[in-house]
Amino acid sequence: MNLRLSDLSACFEGVIPSIIATASADGMPNISYLSHVVRVDEEHVALSNQFFAKTAANIRANPKVTLILVDGFTGDQFLLDIGFVRSVDAGALFDKIARQLRASSVQVGMSDVMRLRSADIFRVHGIEKVPSPVETAPAMAGRAPVSLPALSEAIKAIEQQAEADEIIDSLLGSVQRVLGYSNALVLIQDNYRGCLITTGSIGYERSGLGSEIIGSEGLIGAAAMGGQTIKVSDMSRVRRFGEAIGLEAEGAENTTRTIAFPQLPMAMSQIAVPMTARGTVTGVLFIESTQRLAFREEDEAALEILAGQAASALRASEREAAVAETRQVTPLLEPAAGREIRIAHHRFDDSVFIDGTYIVKGVAGTLLRLMLEWHLNDGRSEFTNREMRLAAGARMPEIKDNLETRLLLLRRRLEEKRAPIRLVRAGRGRVRLEAEGPLILDATAGD
Partner 1 sequence: MRLDDRLLDFFNRPLMCIIAVADETGRPSAGRGVGFHLLEDRETIDVIFSAWQWPRLEPCIRKTSRIATTFVSPSDYVSFQLKGSATLRSTETSDLDRAGRFIAAATDELESLGVSRPLIAPWLTAREARVARFAISEIYIQTPGPLAGMLAGARSQ
- Determine whether 221 is exposed, middle or buried from the number of CB atoms within 10 Å of its CB (0-12, 13-18, 19+): buried
Q: Do 203 and 184 touch, CB atoms closer than 8 A?
A: yes
DSSP code of 146? P
Residue number with CB closer to partner 1 (126 or 393): 126
DSSP code of 6? G
Q: How near is the Cβ of 423 to partner 1 at its closest, in Å?
A: 46
Residue number with CB closer to partner 1 (74 or 326): 74
Q: How near is the Cβ of 124 to partner 1 at its closest, in Å?
A: 14
Q: Do 260 and 217 touch, CB atoms closer than 8 A?
A: no
Residue number with CB closer to partner 1 (67 or 202): 67
Q: How near is the Cβ of 18 to partner 1 at its closest, in Å?
A: 10
Residue number with CB closer to partner 1 (15 or 423): 15
Residue from 277, 299, 301 nearest 288 by CA: 299
Residue from 191, 41, 178 nearest 123 by CA: 41
- Maximum Cα–Cα distance for the chain, whole Å? 94
Q: How near is the Cβ of 119 to partner 1 at its closest, in Å?
A: 18
Q: How near is the Cβ of 110 to partner 1 at its closest, in Å?
A: 9
Q: Checking DSSP bridges between strand 18-23 and strand 64-70, what pairing results, if any?
A: antiparallel
Q: How near is the Cβ of 264 to partner 1 at its closest, in Å?
A: 17
Q: How near is the Cβ of 132 to partner 1 at its closest, in Å?
A: 4
Residue number with CB closer to partner 1 (174 or 233): 233
Residue number with CB closer to partner 1 (30 or 258): 30
Residue number with CB closer to partner 1 (72 or 283): 72
- Determine whether 330 is exposed, middle or buried from the number of CB atoms within 10 Å of its CB (0-12, 13-18, 19+): exposed
Residue number with CB closer to partner 1 (124 or 414): 124
Q: Do 288 and 272 touch, CB atoms closer than 8 A?
A: no
Residues 6 or more apart whose Cβ sits within 8 Å of residue 294? 181, 233, 268, 269, 271
Q: How near is the Cβ of 65 to partner 1 at its closest, in Å?
A: 7
- The upper half-sphere exposure of residue 73, i.e. CA atoms within 13 Å in the direction of its Cβ, equals 22
| Cα–Cα distance, 106 to 422 (Å, whole number) | 41
Backbone φ and ψ for 124, nearest 5 degrees, come out as: -90, 120
List residues near partner 1 by CB under 8 A: 16, 19-23, 25, 27-33, 52-54, 62, 64-68, 70, 72, 74-77, 79, 81, 130-134, 136-137, 236-237
